[in-house]
Amino acid sequence: MGKVKNQHYVPRSYLKHFSNEKGQLWVYDKETDAVFPSNITNVASQRYFYDISFDEIFKVIPEDEKKKLEEELSKLGIDTKQDGYKTIEQGIEDFFSTEIEGPYKSLLENIRSRYVLNPDPLFSEALTLEERHPLSLLIAYQIVRSKEFRKSLIETQNGVMQALVDRLAKTHDKDYEYGSMTVKREHEIPSVEHAQFILGDFPIILAQSLVNHCWIVGVNQTTMPFYTSDNPVIKVAHKRHPIMSYEGYNSEGIEIALPISQKHILIMYERTYHKDYLELDNFFVPIKDVQNVIYYNALQVYQSNRQIYCHDKKFHLIRKMKREYGSLKRAPKKIKVNVRDF
């Protein structure tokens, strides 16, 4: 089998529900301020996005580390001298395509079908508790597989390293100005650092947070469709603190949302802060006020990496946001102290 060149960080099976029968949807690009139609094949993707270049790794790591890596690969039956390691360069892409995307598609389709097939679906069961556990893990993988997550990961790591340098410098020089001395890692291989999070325990820990929240499926009864984006799982912290962040997926007051079609959105509420929603857990709930749709669409705009997607060419909300707030381009993440991140 040949290499997969164009690798999606949002599955096409998901994007299909925001497109027409030909697989076309509308795109707003924050970087270019352009609106254009595109096939779902050509969005939320990048050439060789998940590929791990062992050639690049071997060039930068010390000889002793190189030998250790060769030994570990040898245990897997991979001969580095014969370039056998190239067979696992696409391991992450293979993992998503064979293990994740099929079940993810099926579980989301169960929710949509349950609504369509029920003659009176509002305030009826949207998903079962048995479905919630695997879906929590699959949503966690969607969070960590995105380009936005990779960028935020690298920015956070660099920010923490800079903060440590600033603090150390301040202890030696009380007149030191934060940021006046910068630090940069000698070697940075984003695909490798990203892979460590994808294949480690992080998605499992994240899923354990998601599954315990109150889940509601909102049904859009307005004329404005839900947007989605290249970073479709969005969140908002409802609890505020002047120093500490409550933006973690398990933080008190967190709200997490994933549009699953132009008419349906899966919303997860942290239980202790959002007690009023507990009686609606697992139900289809109508969204009649267009302001609620605007709220979720605006979050997609702000938290997307670069592109927002819509079934129709209805980006007047984005134009209004640009007039009011100026540029919508992505800004680098700032480091905060997090409370119960996961």
pLDDT tens per residue, range 185-237: 666 778 888 988 898 999 999 999 999 999 999 999 999 999 999 999 999 99
pLDDT of 339 strictly over 50? no
Confidence of residue 342 (pLDDT cuts 50, 70, 90): very low
What percent of the chain clears pLDDT 90, i.e. is strictly above it? 64
Residue 198 lies inside a defined structural domain of this protein: no
Domain coverage including residue 259: 6-53+89-151+205-338
Residue 191 lies inside a defined structural domain of this protein: no
- Residue 315 CA, distance from chain mean position: 22
Give 168-189 pLDDT, tens digit per residue: 888 888 888 887 788 776 667 7
Pick the more confident residue, 179 or 108: 108
Residue 286 lies inside a defined structural domain of this protein: yes
Lowest mean pLDDT among 1-5, 152-156, 327-331, 333-337: 333-337
What average pLDDT does the structure give for the chain? 89
Dihedral (Cα; 8, 14, 17, 20), 10-degree rounding: 20
pLDDT of 88 strictly over 70? no
**Domain tally, the chain:** 1
Residue 73 lies inside a defined structural domain of this protein: no
Residue 77 lies inside a defined structural domain of this protein: no
Residue 116 lies inside a defined structural domain of this protein: yes
Confidence of residue 86 (pLDDT cuts 50, 70, 90): low
Could you give the angle at which helices 129-145 and 101-117 cross, rounded to 10 degrees? 130
Residue 269 lies inside a defined structural domain of this protein: yes
Residue 23 lies inside a defined structural domain of this protein: yes
Query: Any idea what the Cα angle at residue 265 is, between residues 259 and 270, rounded to 5°?
Result: 105
Q: State the Cα–Cα distance between residues 63 and 204, nearest whole angstrom.
A: 34
What are 320's two structure tokens? Answer: 């209004």
Q: Which of 51-65, 92-106, 210-224, 233-247 has the highest mean pLDDT?
A: 210-224
Q: State the Cα–Cα distance between residues 195 and 50, nearest whole angstrom.
A: 8
pLDDT of 336 strictly over 60? no
What local confidence, expressed as pLDDT, does residue 188 receive? 72
